[in-house]
Amino acid sequence: MKTEILYEDDTILVIKKPAGLATQTSKIGEQDVVSELKKYLAESGKKNPYIGVVHRLDQPVEGLLVFAKSKEAAAGLTKQLSAGNLNKRYYALVCGKPAANEGELVDYLVKEGNIAKVVPESAPDAKKAVLQYKVVKTMPEGVALLDIRIDTGRFHQIRAQMSHAGMPLLGDTKYGSEASIAFSREVGVRQVALYAYELEFKHPITKKAMHYELQPESFRH
């Protein structure tokens, strides 16, 4: 199993998703985190295991996710997500440096097929997307390491917003600029340089504060 389980009890699972594995897919024969977890639970003796998807990571992105093992837990976690109380933080390597060391991006996004586009607020089906960023460090090559927190959970939000702001992520061939894609190839970055390193929420049943944090060496140094 490619998925790494970090915590498990009767109602939730906290996992580390590897880059390249989809959270959930409808493609026949393609493995994903959900199918791996269902197989794991079935092999552990759980009949008809339930896995509730609360939030997702893009297929190229590595990091932390929480899943529900019951409908009650799924409802509780989804409520926290909707209220902005399921906190997620990311490291991102971007081409370019923000004008300020920290700031906020507010855009409106629509999903068109398998891509998110920034549109005017008045556009049909436009959804507000808000993220906060802080510069952790800058590098001589014109690359910056950002610490990002999202206030909304839109499709491809970080990748689309950072690209629109003129700071595309390294390794992102879908939203990158010609320069960022060329530089990514030059330095050998083949996956989207985004890592979901921190996750905070309240346990949906016990209400205990839950906090998980990973420190990916490739992003810190």
Indicate which residues carry an active-site annotation: 58
Buried b (16+ CB within 10 A) or exposed e, 178-215: eebbebbeeeebebbbbbbbbbbbebbeeeeebebebe
What are residue 150's DSSP bridge partners?
A: 131
CA distance 34 to 54: 11
Q: Which residue matches tokens 């309240």?
A: 202
Coil/strand/helix, residue 151 = coil
Contacts of 15 (CB under 8 A, 6+ apart): 3, 4, 5, 6, 33, 37, 64, 65, 66, 67
CA distance 177 to 189: 14
